[in-house]
Amino acid sequence: MADAYQLQNGGGDKKPLLELYVKASGIDSRRIGACLFCQEFWMELYALYEIGVARVEVKTVNVNSEAFKKNFLGAQPPIMIEEDKQYTDNRDIEGRIFHLAKEYNVPLFEKDPAVEKRIESLYRNFKLFVRAKTDFDKGKKDLQVPSDIESLPAAIKIHYNRIVEQLASIDQLLSDRQTRYLLGPSMTEYDCELMPRLHHIRIIGQRLLGFDIPHSLTHLWNYVLTAYRTAAFIESCPADQDILHHYKEQLNLFTNQRETLQSPTKTHTLPETVLDEIKRIGLDRK
């Protein structure tokens, strides 16, 4: 086990202590890894911590270490422990957080079919595109330069088009609602799900696939900016290098030593032209 991230408000020990074990970076076990479910639950727990409902400790674990294998008997992060009870299934972790939120009237799990419809398959389509495009690029002479989107075969480009269509649909929803988060002024489970996935799409798009979220989707970019200003996201966000390493491992792509030796950085800024447009139409003041 590596470093612990303690989130403890004052107010005594009667609040439940929730320990969340998240996957460590594949580069440095002291850093947060790029597990999406780990970040999603971390953000939800942060929401409970912020209003004083629970004490929270987040600990990174090296899943290949003998200590981890011995202590958790084959379970994989995210893992949550509350007193002597261990939650190793994502549905059980979500269920426990849900019941705590309900008990203390925290509006973290409000349902909205319109939002669910727009975000439910976004990441699945992204993963299909990642796999197809990286396989295509393996046949190129210069493996360091991703192929241009317009040059892709139709069977691969269709995955890209689906992603852009879904991103545009989310952008329209945010434009229609004029809200900071997907449902309103406060973060909900939908934001805990979408914000990390949008960030992965952005980082892997730029560093591995040769594309970016279309700059014309101003309301979506403003939502990304909201993520970069949200404490729960900032606290739980892995470094760019760890996100890239995570995907390269999954895709069996070569990682050169220079990448693993880089100082960790986090891209939490927007392109200047996008930021200028956000300011021009006053979205940054909402």
Residue range 148-186, pLDDT digits in tens: 888 899 999 999 999 999 999 999 999 999 999 999 999
User: What was the pLDDT predicted at 118?
Assistant: 95
- Given a cut of 70, whether residue 2 has pLDDT beyond it is no
C-alpha 68/C-alpha 262 separation (Å) is 27
CA angle centred on 147, ends 217 and 249, rounded to 5° = 90
Class of domain 113-285: mainly alpha
Domain extent listing, the chain: 4-103, 113-285
Q: How far is CA 47 from the centre of its chain?
A: 15
**Whether the Cβ atoms of residue 196 and residue 237 lie closer than 8 Å to each other:** yes
Q: Region 199-209: what's the mean pLDDT?
A: 96
For residue 64, give both structure tokens.
């290949």
For residue 254, give both structure tokens.
């070569």
Q: Helix, strand or coil for residue 255?
A: coil
Q: Helix, strand or coil for residue 241?
A: helix
**Whether the Cβ atoms of residue 238 and residue 23 lie closer than 8 Å to each other:** no
Residue range 28-69, pLDDT digits in tens: 999 999 999 999 999 999 999 999 999 999 999 999 888 888
Which of 183, 167, 178 has its CA nearest to residue 118? 167
User: What was the pLDDT predicted at 9?
Assistant: 52
- Given a cut of 80, whether residue 247 has pLDDT beyond it is yes
3-state SS track over 40-109: HHHHHHHHHHHCCCCEEEEEEECCCCHHHHHHHCCCCCCEEEECCEEECCHHHHHHHHHHHHHHCCCCCC
Q: Region 221-241: what's the mean pLDDT?
A: 97
Which of 267, 253, 27 has its CA nearest to residue 144? 253
pTM of the predicted protein model: 0.92
**Can you say whether the dihedral through the CA atoms of 190, 196, 201, 206 is positive or negative?**
positive
Q: Using omega within 30 degrees of 0 as the cis cutoff, is the peptide bond preceding 78 cis? A: yes
Matching residue, tokens 């979500």:
94
Output 7 or 216, whichever has higher pLDDT: 216
User: What was the pLDDT predicted at 70?
Assistant: 86
Q: Does CATH place domain 4-103 in 2.40.50.100?
A: no
User: What was the pLDDT predicted at 7?
Assistant: 56
CA angle centred on 101, ends 100 and 107, rounded to 5° = 175
DSSP H helix total and E strand total for the chain: 12, 5
**Can you say whether the dihedral through the CA atoms of 43, 47, 52, 53 is positive or negative?**
negative
**Whether the Cβ atoms of residue 191 and residue 181 lie closer than 8 Å to each other:** yes
- DSSP summary character for residue 20: E
Supply the mean pLDDT for the chain: 91
